[in-house]
Amino acid sequence: MASVKANPVFAPPLGRGRKRSGVSTRQNGVAFLFLAPWVCGILVLTLGPILASLYLSLTNYDLFTAPVWAGLANYQRLFFEDARYYQALKVTFTYVALSVPLKLAFALGVALVLNRGLSGLGFYRSVYYLPSLLGGSVAIAIMWRQLFAYDGIVNEFLLQFGIDGPSWISNPVYALYTLVTLSIWQFGSPMVIFLAGLKQIPQELYDAAAVDGAGPWRKFLNVTLPLLTPIIFFNFVMQLINSFQAFTPSFIISNGTGGPADSTLFYTLYLYEQGFTNFQMGYASAMAWVLVAIIGTTTGLAFMSARYWVHYGDESR
């Protein structure tokens, strides 16, 4: 498993136990010259805005007149008075809960098949990866809208089996699932990461398992799956963070409204609407803070759960 740890993603923290060869004095001056752009960026574009966002979330601010202190009124409105906000939460959590596991399942499944030493690996890998590269494009969202239109190609296909499909995009029952499907279609990038992880598993382990009389299913359960847990975990966290922030497809497919009947009102879409359409910057800042808290909590929970299911091979427990 040492080889998986050599993967940059899982590299040990910087500088631990490394000998400083020859340099005894700290190079603070030169170093901060190199760091200058990043330091400016993090102060002005990251840390400053985060604090500003926290302050603004406690005010009413319309961008044109000075912010008016409001205390926790924005948060109170979010949690107790805004039914659309709950709808946005529901839509977003449904999307995350469906798209993340399904996407990872497809990514892992295809990666396992592609890892079987078949010829044409490069070709398949590229073809399966391509959609995740194009995925965020407006053009792809427009295309998806047409595929799932009432007279679109999906219904055309269903008609071959005598099924009269609904108008997916304009039916509140189904609209969100078309977006889930779009997300699953883009399983290529976690798949590529899985493939890289599978390559790191030493052949000896499979040989040893074979000597012990393990069949393919046992090999998968006892060798592949445990050794792959760090990669599964990494993909899971990345997809989780990304899925909570989904925006473009829902904006394009619903024409910026989150419709039909708010069925695709993603969190980010509602935040955009409140901030940049209604100019309720304070309210939108409160939403942004809750989003940070949600993403922080879910990734935190993921990290805590990792103790129980993520195995690093050379670790004894």
Partner 1 sequence: MTATLPAGSPGRRIILRPRRILMHLALCAGAFLMIYPLLWLFSSSLKPSNLIFADPGLWPSKLRLENYPDGWRGAALPFSVFFTNSFIVSTLAVIGNALSCSMVAYAFARLDFAFKRTLFALMLMTIMLPLHATLIPQYILFQKIGWVNTFLPIVVPKFLAVDAFFIFLMVQFIRSIPRDLDEAARIDGAGPIRIYWSIILPLLTPALVTTAVFSFLWTYEDFLTPLVYLSSMDLYTVPQGLRLFMASTGVSAWGPMLAMSVLSLVPLFIVFFVFQRRLIDGIASSGLKG
Shortest spacing between CB 316 and partner 1, in angstroms: 26
Tell me the two tokens of residue 109: 């499944």
Contacts of 167 (CB under 8 A, 6+ apart): 149, 150
- The answer to the question of residue 105 lying near partner 1 (CB under 8 A) is no
Residue 60 near partner 1 by CB under 8 A: no
Site string for partner 1, 75-104 (x = CB under 8 A): ------------------------------
Contact 180, 174 (CB under 8 A): no
Is residue 251 a contact point for partner 1 (CB under 8 A)? yes
Binding partner 1 (rule: CB under 8 A), the pick from 85, 95, 144, 168 is: 144
Specify the residue for token string 């000998």: 19
Which member of 60, 115, 170, 171 binds partner 1 (CB under 8 A)?
Answer: 115
Between 151 and 316, CB nearer to partner 1: 151
What's the min distance (Å) between Cβ of 312 and partner 1?
17
- The footprint of partner 1 on this chain (CB under 8 A) covers a number of residues equal to 114
CB of 144 within 8 A of CB of 178?
yes
Give the amino acid at 219: K
**Closest listed residue to residue 109, CA positions, set 21, 239, 224, 208:** 224
Q: Rounded CA gap, 103 and 239, in Å?
A: 9
In the block, residue with structure tokens 């904006």: 251
Q: Which of 182, 294, 187, 174 is nearest to 244 (CA)?
A: 294
Locate tokens 């809208």: which residue?
A: 145
Q: Which of 77-85, 94-102, 148-156, 169-177 is the region at the interface with partner 1 (rule: CB under 8 A)? A: 148-156
> Does 268 participate in binding partner 1 (rule CB under 8 A)?
yes
Residue 272 interacting with partner 1 (CB under 8 A)? yes
Neighbouring C-beta atoms of residue 259, cutoff 10 Å: 17
Crossing angle between the packed helical segments 175-185 and 83-114, to the nearest 10 degrees: 30
Q: How far is the CB of 84 from partner 1 (least distance, A)?
A: 17
Nearest residue (CB) to partner 1, 176 versus 281: 281
Radius of gyration of the chain from its Cα atoms, rounded to whole angstroms: 24
- Return the residue of 8, 71, 162, 213 that touches partner 1, per CB under 8 A: 8
Q: What track of x and - describes contact with partner 1 for positions 196 through 235 (by CB under 8 A)?
A: x-xx-x-x--x--------xx--x--------------xx
Map the footprint of partner 1 across residues 15-54, applying CB under 8 A. 15, 20-23, 26-28, 30-35, 37-38, 40-42, 44-46, 48-50, 52-53
- C-alpha–C-alpha distance, residues 148 and 185, integer Å: 14
CB of 45 or CB of 301, closer to partner 1:
45
- Residue closer to partner 1, measured from CB, 49 or 261: 49
**Least distance in angstroms from the C-beta of 43 to partner 1:** 9
Q: Are strands 68-69 and 59-60 parallel, antiparallel or unpaired?
A: antiparallel
